[in-house]
Amino acid sequence: MKDQVFGVLQRIGRSFMLPIALLPVAGLLLGIGGSFSNTTMLETYGLTRIMGPGTFWNALFTVMSQAGDIVFANLPILFAMGIAIGMAKKEKEVAALAAVISFLVMHAAIGAMIAVNGGTDALKEGAGAMVAGIQSLQMGVFGGILVGLGTAWLHNRYYRIELPQVLSFFGGTRFVPIVSALFYVLVGILMYFIWPPVQAAISGVGGFVLRSGYPGTWFYGFMERALIPFGLHHVFYIPFWQTAVGGTMEIGGKIVEGAQNIFFAELADPGNTRFSVEATRFMAGKFPLMIFGLPGAALAMYQAALPEKKKEVSGLLLSAALTSMLTGITEPLEFTFLFTAPLLYGIHCVFAGLAYMLMHMLDVGVGMTFSGGLIDLFLFGILQGNKKTGWLWIVVVGVFYFLMYCAVFLVLIRKLDYKTPGREVGAAAKLYTRSDVEQRKEERKETGPGQTGREKSAGKTGTRSGEILKGLGGPDNITDVDCCATRLRCTVKDEKKVDESVLKATGASGVIKKGKGVQIIYGPQVSVIKSDLEEYMEKYGDESDEGDSHELIKSPMTGTVILLSEVPDEAFAGKMMGDGAAVIPDDEYVYAPADGTVTFVFPTKHAVGFRTDGGHEMLLHVGIDTVSLSGDGFEAFVHDGDHVRTGDKLLKADIQKIKDKVPSLASPVLFTDLPDGLEVHILKYGKIRNGEPFLELYNKEKQEVG
Which sequence positions are flagged as catalytic?
484, 621
Contact 119, 144 (CB under 8 A): no
d(CA 161, CA 90): 13
Distance of CA 566 to the CA centre of its chain: 35
CB within 8 A of 463, min separation 6: which ones?
A: 452, 454, 455, 532, 536
Question: Among 96, 24, 27, 97, which residue's Cα sits nearest to residue 64?
Answer: 27
d(CA 692, CA 688): 7
d(CA 248, CA 205): 12
d(CA 328, CA 399): 17
Measured at the CA of 293, the angle between CA 291 and CA 295, to 5 degrees, comes to: 70
d(CA 556, CA 612): 13
Contact 544, 689 (CB under 8 A): no
Count of beta carbons in the 10 Å neighbourhood of residue 198 = 13
Contact 384, 41 (CB under 8 A): yes
Torsion angle, alpha carbons of 652, 658, 663, 665, to 10: 30
d(CA 650, CA 606): 10
d(CA 354, CA 215): 9
User: In whole angstroms, how far apart are CA 53 and each of 28, 44, 248, 379, 428?
Assistant: 21, 15, 31, 22, 60
CB within 8 A of 215, min separation 6: which ones?
A: 357
Question: Among 454, 457, 442, 462, which residue's Cα sits nearest to residue 686?
Answer: 442
Rg, the chain, Cα only: 30
The per-residue b/e assignment along 310-331, b for 16 or more CB within 10 angstroms, e otherwise, is: eebbbebbebbbebbbebbbbb
DSSP summary character for residue 640: T
Q: How many CA atoms lie within 13 A of 24 on its CB side?
A: 15
Element (H, E) at 81: helix 75-87
Distance of CA 555 to the CA centre of its chain: 28
Alpha helices in 92-232 (DSSP H): 92-116, 140-158, 175-211, 213-226
Alpha helices in 212-341 (DSSP H): 213-226, 233-242, 259-268, 277-280, 286-287, 294-304, 310-327, 331-340
User: In whole angstroms, how far apart are CA 417 and each of 157, 293, 306?
Assistant: 53, 21, 12
- Residues recorded for the chain: 706
